[in-house]
A and B are shown apart, each in its own frame.
Chain A
Amino acid sequence: AQRVTQPEKLLSVFKGAPVELKCNYSYSGSPELFWYVQYSRQRLQLLLRHISRESIKGFTADLNKGETSFHLKKPFAQEEDSAMYYCALAKYSGNTPLVFGKGTRLSVIA
C-alpha cells in the first residue's frame, strides 16, 4: 500500500529564511507526487506537481526516486506562505485518488 510521510507537524521560520518541507513516500510503482496547500479559511488547492517541474510562488520540489522523497523548498519565505501544506501521491497518471500525508503547518514569522 502507498504511504506518504510528512515528519514535521509544524515548521516555523523567519521571513526571508529558506524553507524546506519534507515529504517521503512509499510505493513500489512510479507515482505522481503533488503538493497541495490550504491557506487560512480557503479550500485545499494544488500548489505544484512533479511532472510539470515548475516553480509556483517561488516554491520548487524535486522528485528523488532513490530516496523516495519530494521535499518542497523555497529560498526566501514570505509571511503569505503561512499555511497548511500537504504532500500527496497518486498511483498513476489520470484520474486517480490521492493519498495524502498528515500535513505540515508552516508559520512564517515577521
Chain B
Amino acid sequence: EAGVAQSPRYKIIEKRQSVAFWCNPISGHATLYWYQQILGQGPKLLIQFQNNGVVDDSQLPKDRFSAERLKGVDSTLKIQPAKLEDSAVYLCASSPVHRGDNEQFFGPGTRLTVL
C-alpha cells in the first residue's frame, strides 16, 4: 500500500511569514496526527483528527497554528506568523481505527527552517 505522503519536503521562510504543509494519509486510515520534531527531541503531538473531527489539539499553539481535515482524508497544517522556534520537522502519521493497536504510519516529514 502507498505510504503517508507529505509535501513539501523542505521549506525555508523568514520569520513572520506564513507556511502550509499538506498530508495525505494511507487510504482508509481514519485517524491522522501531526507531530512537531525539534532537532534533538522526539516527536511531539500537535493535533489528532478522527475522520474530520479534532480529537486532541491541547498542545497546538492556536495563536499561530491551525489545522484542518475537511473531508476526512487530506489534512493541512498552517503556521501564521512563523517564529524562529518553529524550525522543526513536521511529521504526519495515520492509523486505521479498526485495529486499535496504536501502530502509526509516518510520512517522510517536512523540514521547516525559519530564518
Contact = CB atoms under 8 A, between A and B. Distances in A.
A44 B43 contact: yes
A87 to B, nearest CB: 8
A95 B43 contact: no
Interface in B79-105: 91, 95, 97, 100-105
A45 interface: yes
Nearest to A4: B42
A110 B111 CA distance: 32
Contacts of A94: 100, 102
A49 B42 CA distance: 17
A102 B103 contact: no
- Interface band, chain B: 20 to 34
Interface residues of A, number: 24
B107 interface: yes
A97 B91 contact: no
Interface of A: 4, 9, 32, 34, 43-46, 49, 51, 86, 88, 90, 93-103
Contact of B108 (A4, A43, A51): A43
A93 B56 contact: no
Question: What DSSP secondary structure best describes chain B's contact surface?
Answer: loop
A27 B48 CA distance: 20
A102 B40 contact: yes
Contacts of A95: 30-31, 48, 50, 55, 95, 97, 100, 102
B13 interface: no
A49 B95 CA distance: 15
A34 B42 CA distance: 13
B95 to A, nearest CB: 5
Contacts of A34: 102
B101 A100 contact: no
B28 interface: no
Contact of B106 (A32, A43, A96): A43
